[in-house]
Structure 1
Amino acid sequence: MSSVSMRDLLEAGAHFGHQTRYWNPKMNEFIFGARNNIHIINLEKTVPALDEALAFVQSTAAKKNKVLFVGTKRSASKVIKENAERAGMPYVDKRWLGGMLTNYKTIRQSIRRLRDLESQAANGTFEKLTKKEALSRQRDLEKLESGLGGIKEMGGLPDALFVVDVDHESIAVTEARKLRIPIIGIVDSNSNPDGIDYVIPGNDDAIRSIRLFVAAIADAALAGKAEFQGEVSADEFVEVAAEPVAEETQPEVAAEVAAAEPAAVEPAAVEPAAVEPAAVEPAAVEPAADESEKAE
């Protein structure tokens, strides 16, 4: 998992908050001071908070779970879409539709309609319709794609929510809290951190700052996915190597036992030679028997 240093945060301007008159007193513990009537966020609090959030995202992705990226304001929309797609995670970058989580049953029906229209557009059905009907369906397709395109592969409610600007996305935060979905949020000096499970104090307006935070979350998700895929590959390898080994053999020594099998065959090849002296001299039978017993 890639970590973000304090220097990275400083260069991105993540420490700049809002004007002091707009501050939220609940963010007091995360504020270092003020300069030119602008609050300065304490990055010594941001670094460990971000690391904790990244560890949570990685562990979530490692369990093959979904993290929904949410950022609909202009400065966050493009960054959210790019990084969520890079990480293979669902996202909302245009507008949060009321009930997107709490009324997911209805949203799922709209997603099915979207898939149906996509299929019609791909197989040439639109071309067989009247111009008016084809245009109507094309508009429906574009509208649904704009609102639901980022979550059409989500397959159910997300396991966590990552939000840029928790005040701007208050509806999404409220719905997630009702469903007890863990929330990771970039929280500026003017925002309310209540109800956010993983508070990342930082600038949620500057594009460079947003890009730094969102890219770090996406990298953590990718690291978690790689961890999951690595575990699957390792399990498959152990199963193949363990086939000729007895059930009591531990997976860790399966390779050693498999490698030792050719050496174990050699005593069996010597047995006929050991039987010959036993047939010639009865007295020599006893040592041969002792040797075979030791071999056993």
Structure 2
Amino acid sequence: PRGRLIAAAALLCAAPMALSAHLPNAVGNLGSLCQTLLPWSGLGVVLLLCCAAVRRSALAAVAVLVPALVWTVLFGPALVDRRSGGGDFTVVSHNVNEENPDPGSTARALAASGADVLAVEELASRAQAAFRHELAAAYPYSEVRGGVGVWSRYPVEEVEPVEIMPWTRAVRATVRTPKGPVALYAVHLASVRVHLAGGFATARRNEAAARLAEALRAERLTRIVVLGDFNGSVDDSALRGLTGPLRSAQREAGDGLGFTWPAAFPVVRIDQILVAGVTPRAAWTLPATGSDHLPVAASLRL
């Protein structure tokens, strides 16, 4: 019958989506790469639907419904606006890009968000003065360690680096909110690269994530907010030791897939807000600044 090739392609498209959580990383970490880009598998479904329509094949049309259904189950809920009110603690995280040409403008944009706490990553030394100047009025409490900074409306105590890499890429702080303390982690996991010869290079990132997960297991406070540039998706099984015990604010209370990188045309969400012991009420991305990442925000109920 007509459409057999299209039907076979549809089943081949559906299989990696349905089994995405179990894709292996044995060769070039291709499992992690596929999981990171998984939402874009919907383009393959659209292409197959077009081919089935052109071919006018009932067999092909029925077969294409299989990957379409799998994609809908995986990502359909994300297309529904799950935001609601009732939050009492708002956080924003932004990789501000160490090459940012106008850090002062970026700082003002973050202040305009009205968040209670700002976490910034990849903050260049030359940009720190601009951030301190622009944020001082609205955020009287601040700490910068390495390229990671925290600005807060509420007192920030017990700030210390988390040793996930040889240099400071993560900090932990206790934020004294009116409803009690919150353990806040501002994080910038190691970068990843895609090489033709070596595949998806994630070893340093995965090691940093494992060290962060170890620190979180030792956390004494029950209310935890982890935010920053993860250089990875929450669907990436290589990060499961870190992301598994936490909940994604975007997935639980966002609107859409919330892609953050690259800012000019976002195709992946690698900037995350993950929580434990608090309830996400809304999550969203903010407009582009001078960075190559979009800022992410979440309103939480403590």
**TM surpasses 0.5:** no
TM-score (norm. length: structure 2): 0.31
- Whichever of the two has the greater Rg, that structure is 1
TM-score (norm. length: structure 1): 0.31
Tell which has more relative contact order, 1 or 2 (C-alpha 8 A, sep 6+).
1
